[in-house]
Structures are given as structure tokens and as C-alpha cells.
Amino acid sequence: MGRYWKLNHTADLAIRVEAESLEDLFITYARAMFDTMVGGRLEERITQTLELEANDEGELLLDWLKELLFLFERDGFIPIKYELNIMDNRLKARIVGDQFDPHRHTAHLEIKVPTYHRFSIKEDSGRWEGRIIFDV
């Protein structure tokens, strides 16, 4: 399982991730994003499926996070469990999660979008590392 760190940044939120695989990198970023946005007891109530395609892994990662933010904004969907398959810059995901309920959940920091500012993603000897600054 990947690890993440929130980094000091003047106005926005910067997160660095280290992971064992590309899929783990994507999942860890999603976890970090939602850990920052929402608190409370989550239950497995809803299943979502996603398919995305991009020009490269970096674009695919940002599209993945944008799509998760869209599902939260539109439906209140909070992901809990992830099954991802990434091949040839195509992502297929099955995500199980909960729907935001103000009686069971607390809203924390609102994340608007992941940005390209100082964005990086790289693989070295089978390990993946990334850095994203989120607009809040």
C-alpha cells in the first residue's frame, strides 16, 4: 500500500505519494484526497465503474482525480475500496463507496482540482512517486 505526505504550500495543498505500482499510486492519491476532504464513518453502499483514457500516465492520474472530484460534487460519492487496472494509458476501475451524509460525515477542506503546477510522476525500479498540488 502506498504512503502519502501533505507538504507545506503557501495557499494550496501539495501531496507527495510513494507506491509499489502505478495502480497503487492512483489509489493512494484518491485516499489522500478524500482523507483531506471528508471525515466520519464510511460504509460500502454504492458501486461506481469508470473507464478513462489519456495520452500518458500523468494525464491519466489527473483525469482520474478530476473524475472522482466530479462524482463527489455531483453525487456526494466518497470512495472507500478500489479495484484498478491500468494498461496502455487506459484505466478501468470498480470503486465501492458511500454517499456524503451530513449526519454521518464531516466536510473538511474543499479540494477544487489537481493542477499541473509543479506536477510530477515517475517510475524508478518498479516504484512510483508523484507530487501534485491541489487547488483548494
SS3 assignment, position 61: helix
The phi-psi region of residue 40 (left if phi > 0; otherwise alpha if psi is between -120 and 50; otherwise beta) is left
Mean pLDDT of the chain: 96
Write out pLDDT tens, residues 77-88.
999 999 999 999
Q: Which of 35, 34, 29, 38 is nearest to 2 (CA)?
A: 29
Domain regions of the chain by residue span: 3-135
Residue range 100-106: mean pLDDT, rounded = 97
* pLDDT, position 1: 84
* pLDDT, position 70: 98
Query: Which CATH class, in words, describes the domain spanning 3-135?
Result: alpha beta
Write out pLDDT tens, residues 9-27.
677 999 999 999 999 999 9
Q: Which of 53, 36, 19, 48 is nearest to 130 (CA)?
A: 19
* pLDDT, position 7: 83
Write out pLDDT tens, residues 31-73.
999 999 999 999 999 999 999 999 999 999 999 999 999 999 9
d(CA 72, CA 121): 24
* pLDDT, position 9: 67
